[in-house]
Amino acid sequence: MSRSAAQRTTDVARAVTDILQPRNVLLLGMLGIGLAAAGNWTGLPWGLLGALCAGIVPAAYIERERRRGTWGDRHVVDRRQRAPIFLVILGSIGAGFLVMVLGGAPTGILLAMTALWAMTVVLLAVNTVWKISVDSAVASAVTALLACVHSPWWAAGYVFVVAVCWSRVALGYHSVAQTAAGAGLGTGAATAFLFS
């Protein structure tokens, strides 16, 4: 591959990984899950709260630490540095879940939050020994959740999951096995909780 072709591939992969990063996927996905869970527009604030707790707060934490020089960028490529991020995610999702329970949120959004929390626990555990892909796990979980609460047709969104997996490998952040494991975990966590 020529240098210019390799650069184009890297540019496309970087655009894909930036556009489909967990914060963005969770923002759109949780709004859709909240809408389905409530059956009307009243689910949108619950979805927004879910996105805030599962995606936006952790992304803000990562950005703050990046600015402080803790990490080079949002990807936190050294898995040994990732434990605090997972703990922030677990705490943030847990706090959001508590607010949702106290506020009488629809069951579907509570199940989605539970699935994301459980998935994060597994990501944290696996990350202690192996660098599993969080971006792939989140993209897959959100796609599976949308397919479960709306229609199986949402499974067509797995084309975006494949794009995320490809971009992470193309940028050298993960191996094929690490992205496949992340995607499998996301699907498993989402379907296990929504079909329970």
Cα separations in angstroms, 112 against 8, 20, 77, 79: 37, 19, 27, 26
62 or 73: which carries more pLDDT confidence?
A: 62
* Sequence-separated (6 or more) residues with CB below 8 Å from residue 119: 137, 141, 185, 186, 189, 190
Two tokens, residue 136:
């792939």
Using pLDDT thresholds of 50, 70 and 90, give the confidence band for residue 2: low
What is the mean pLDDT of the segment spanning 135-162? 94
pTM value is: 0.94
Using pLDDT thresholds of 50, 70 and 90, give the confidence band for residue 173: very high
Whole-angstrom distance, CA of residue 7 vs CA of residue 136: 23
Neighbours of 153 (CB within 10 A): 9
Using pLDDT thresholds of 50, 70 and 90, give the confidence band for residue 78: confident
The pLDDT of residue 6 is: 84
How would DSSP label each residue in 62-83? Answer: HHHHHHTTSSSSTT---GGG-H
Using pLDDT thresholds of 50, 70 and 90, give the confidence band for residue 196: low
**CA dihedral for 16, 126, 87, 142, sign (positive or negative):** positive
Nearest to 143 by CA among 157, 131, 132, 130: 157
Q: Percentage of the chain with pLDDT > 90?
A: 82
Whole-angstrom distance, CA of residue 33 vs CA of residue 113: 10
Using pLDDT thresholds of 50, 70 and 90, give the confidence band for residue 187: very high
Q: At what angle do helices 107-127 and 176-194 cross, to 10 degrees?
A: 150
Nearest to 116 by CA among 29, 19, 38: 29
Least-confidence region, from 1-15, 32-46, 96-110: 1-15
Instruction: Write down the mean pLDDT value for the chain.
Output: 93
The pLDDT of residue 1 is: 61
What is the mean pLDDT of the segment spanning 27-32? 96
